[in-house]
Amino acid sequence: QLAMSSYFLRHRRPNVQRYLKAYVNEYFPYHKPEVTSIGLKAAERKGLMPTAPFPLAIGQVEPYGRYDGEFHKPDSDHEPSLVRVQVKKLCLNRFILRYYYQSATYLAYAGRIATKPGDLVLVEKTPEPMEFNCVYRLVKIIFSDGCITDPVTGLRCYGGKYQLPELEAWSQQLPRAGGSD
């Protein structure tokens, strides 16, 4: 049985993988990622500089740094104003012929533009990084979407999640079970 398992896993050996490396895209085209750049998280983990996949892209601002629930405002000219932008691309899975999102997160230099988490922004690639790990520059806010209010509860939310202070205040107003209210 031991000989059977070593024979079965022979294709996983490094010397076989080395020969197969040149033919992976030809023989296995369905699993090839289409966003071939290096994102922010992978660059930080590997110690590399991120690369931008597109010269112009539309992305969504994510919370980054000192976010206290208000607008992102640069404090002074000396402090770099960086925002975290998530760029998504629809990529075709050629095996099942269906589109799926591939997303990558990048830092973008905002300048004097005040942004909120959830804003849809237009970013453009910079020829040289403006700050460390910053490969995009924020051009403009396309759709200011930072303060979304849930129509049912009337609470502010970010995506599908409620913001914590709003949720705690709302839970305090709920009547307690078994109480004499």
In the chain, domain spans: 28-167
Q: What number is the average pLDDT over the span 92-100?
A: 74
Radius of gyration over every alpha carbon of the chain, rounded to an integer in angstroms: 23
28-167: CATH topology is OB fold (Dihydrolipoamide Acetyltransferase, E2P) (2.40.50)
pTM of whole model > 0.75? Answer: no
Dump the DSSP string for 3-43: HHHHHHTGGGSHHHHHHHGGGHHHH-GGG--S--S--HHHH
Check residue 31 and give its pLDDT. Answer: 46
pLDDT: which is higher, 137 or 11: 137
CB 83: neighbour CB atoms within 10 A?
27
DSSP 154: -
CA angle 69, 74, 77 (to 5 degrees): 170
Encoding tokens for residue 67? 């976010």
Q: What pLDDT digit, counting tens, does each position of 119-142 carry?
A: 889 999 998 877 777 888 999 998
**Per-residue pLDDT, 37:** 63
Mean pLDDT of 96-111: 82
**pLDDT tens-digit map of 66-82:** 555 554 555 555 455 88
Query: Cα–Cα distance between 26 and 141 in angstroms, integer?
Result: 41
% of the chain with per-residue pLDDT over 90: 6
